[in-house]
């Protein structure tokens, strides 16, 4: 089983990853490939560097390169894939017959609040910057950029993550039951 996650920044994807990992799935991210490449370049993994690094790798290897690299690493192993940001990544992951894409949604204000609470390095501290990042990540003029809107349209299921953790866990348990059949 290969479960993929897509969604806006601070929508709760990391919580989903933790939940699926507790069920025995290996946790990987399309961003892992970028982080490795940045380290080879002697660069820090800031949000901006991850975005530009992803663009560069996609320019060099095509839109699905990050997912293709993950598929090689996984070699058929069950996993949850965080941070799927382009339709080409979804198409590459669908080559493996057991792939299922979940879009994680949360209200913009809730995501802004969560981002401020988590204090992750590279997260914007100014709401205007947050909104500009949102706009830049929504669509791309070429396959090298992020296209969260088009990626979300390819989701097999969408889960709204605006409620409590208990409500989310109930939704995830339903999805798990369906996937495990």
pLDDT bucket at 92, cuts 50 / 70 / 90: very high
Domain spans, the chain: 2-179
pLDDT at 93 over 80: yes
Three-state SS sequence of 19-38: HHHHCCCEEEEHHHHHHHHH
E strands, 64-172, are: 79-82, 99-105, 157-160
List of residues 6+ apart from 106 with CB closer than 8 A: 7, 8, 10, 11, 12, 114, 160, 161, 162
pLDDT tens column, 17-68? 999 999 999 999 888 888 889 999 999 988 789 889 988 998 999 989 999 9
CATH architecture classification, 2-179: 3-Layer(aba) Sandwich (3.40)
C-alpha span between 71 and 74 (Å, rounded): 5
Classify 65 as helix, strand or coil. helix
C-alpha span between 41 and 168 (Å, rounded): 39
pLDDT tens column, 99-129? 999 999 999 999 999 999 987 877 888 899 8
pLDDT mean over 118-147: 81
pTM: 0.86
Classify 4 as helix, strand or coil. strand
54 closest CA partner among 148, 150, 123, 120? 148
């Amino acid at each position: 089983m290969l479960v993929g996650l897509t969604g806006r920044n601070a929508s709760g994807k990391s919580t989903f990853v933790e939940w699926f990992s507790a069920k025995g799935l290996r946790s990987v991210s399309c961003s892992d490939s970028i982080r490795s490449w940045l380290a080879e370049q002697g660069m820090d993994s800031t949000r901006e560097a991850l975005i530009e690094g992803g663009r560069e790798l996609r320019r060099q290897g095509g839109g699905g390169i990050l997912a293709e690299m993950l598929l090689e690493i996984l070699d058929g192993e069950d996993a949850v894939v965080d941070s799927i940001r382009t339709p080409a990544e979804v198409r590459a992951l669908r080559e493996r017959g057991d792939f299922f894409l979940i879009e994680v949604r949360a209200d913009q204000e809730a995501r802004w609040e969560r981002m401020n609470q988590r204090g992750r390095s590279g997260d914007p501290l100014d709401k205007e910057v947050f909104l500009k990042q949102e706009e830049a990540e929504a669509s791309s003029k070429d396959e090298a950029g992020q296209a969260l809107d088009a990626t979300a349209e390819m989701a097999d299921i969408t889960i709204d993550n605006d409620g409590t953790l208990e409500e989310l866990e109930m939704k995830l348990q339903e999805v798990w039951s369906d996937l495990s059949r």
